[in-house]
Amino acid sequence: MHSNFTTKARKVFRNIAILLAVVFGGVLVFGYFVYQRLFIFGGMLLDKLKSACGCTEYLSFSTHPFIISTFAILGLGLLVGAGLAIYKTVKFKKLNYKFVRAHLKRARPALRASLREVVNELGLDEKVVEIREQSPAVFCYGFLKPKICVSDGLVSALEKEELRAVLRHERRHLLNYDPLKLFCLKLGEKFFFFVPGFKTLVKQYITYSEMAADEDVGIGDNEKISLAGALFKIINQEEQAMLRNGLALSFFSSVIEERVNRLADADYAPVFKIFNRQFFAGVVALFVVLLSVLVLFKDSSTALATHQEFGFCQMQEMAVVDNKCVAEINRKQVCEDSYLSRAVACNK
């Protein structure tokens, strides 16, 4: 029984989407948790300063350099993080756009007759662009309206059946919107690098999508021979010089080893080890970071409850009644007095 790599690719992509949604939601919840605790502790700190000396009326860098510097650094860190995320997204999109535009500048006004014949057979009218390029190369590009870019060197190098196999392979990427999916996945790798096993899942999807595209060519001996011949010619004549793994483009010569093994053995299925050393190391590192933050804010709930009942007053010292120290503690009254007035009264 032949494996259905199309189903496998869809399943892996769905799992990645769910994982990203869970991680993104977790980051938002964790960020809100940290923000809430920082807000509580900031309020407690300001209340203590007000009780001790009333110096919150002049909250400036000269009077409170440490406090102002801390909040400035936190704010700057948030701005830098947001700016870096936007910069990476824009840069990655421009990198793909620049690569595609550079090759489309050499586009032919019309397809060759031999290429146009195969394109019409496969129903790819207006979906294929031929460029003036000596090296045989073909890739699928475009997010919302994907197209296939074919070099005239490829058309000259391949037999008709080989060219048909290549275009059927790329047609699968086009119909599946793989350039858009690759863009999202590779962008996810940049932002969620800390998620254990994420890179392995991305590699798994890319491999399955390429093998699914090969399945779309056909599983008969003639189809396999045409596909293998095209793959050999493209690899042998250096499409690799044009290929960039960092781009969100579906190159025909991607994932070579697994595809060759599949052509040689119909029962071959690639194996991916998600639970490796890097995965467990990432889990441990993530656990340590989360545990450290939780320990840091472990008493925040108690602090919040105290604030709601007594207004941040944490003193367990004697209250001031008629300028005399007494043993009875009245927290509400103590909160109304400053630390300095109590200290003066209790030392008399």
**Digit-coded pLDDT (tens) for 289-327:** 777 666 666 655 555 555 444 444 444 344 444 444 444
| pLDDT confidence of residue 124 | 92
On the question of pLDDT at 171 being above 90, the answer is yes
On the question of pLDDT at 279 being above 60, the answer is yes
Tell me the pairing of strands 138-141 and 128-131.
unpaired
CB proximity list for 59: less than 8 A, separation 6 or greater: 46, 67, 68
Q: What is the pLDDT of residues 141-152, one digit of tens each?
A: 998 899 999 998
For the record, the structure tokens of 291 come out as 């545990």
Range 222-247 average pLDDT: 70
| pLDDT confidence of residue 336 | 43
Range 65-80 average pLDDT: 72
| pLDDT confidence of residue 222 | 80
Question: What DSSP letter does each residue of 15-59 carry, written as one string?
Answer: HHHHHHHHHHHHHHHHHHHHHHHHHHHHHHHHHHHHHHH-GGGG-
Rounded Cα distance, 312 and 334, in Å: 11
Q: What is the pLDDT of residues 84-117, one digit of tens each?
A: 878 888 888 888 888 888 888 889 998 989 899 9
pTM of the model as a whole: 0.70
Confidence at 193, pLDDT banded by 50, 70, 90: confident
Inter-residue contact 191 to 88 (CB < 8 Å):
yes
CA 265 to chain centre: 35
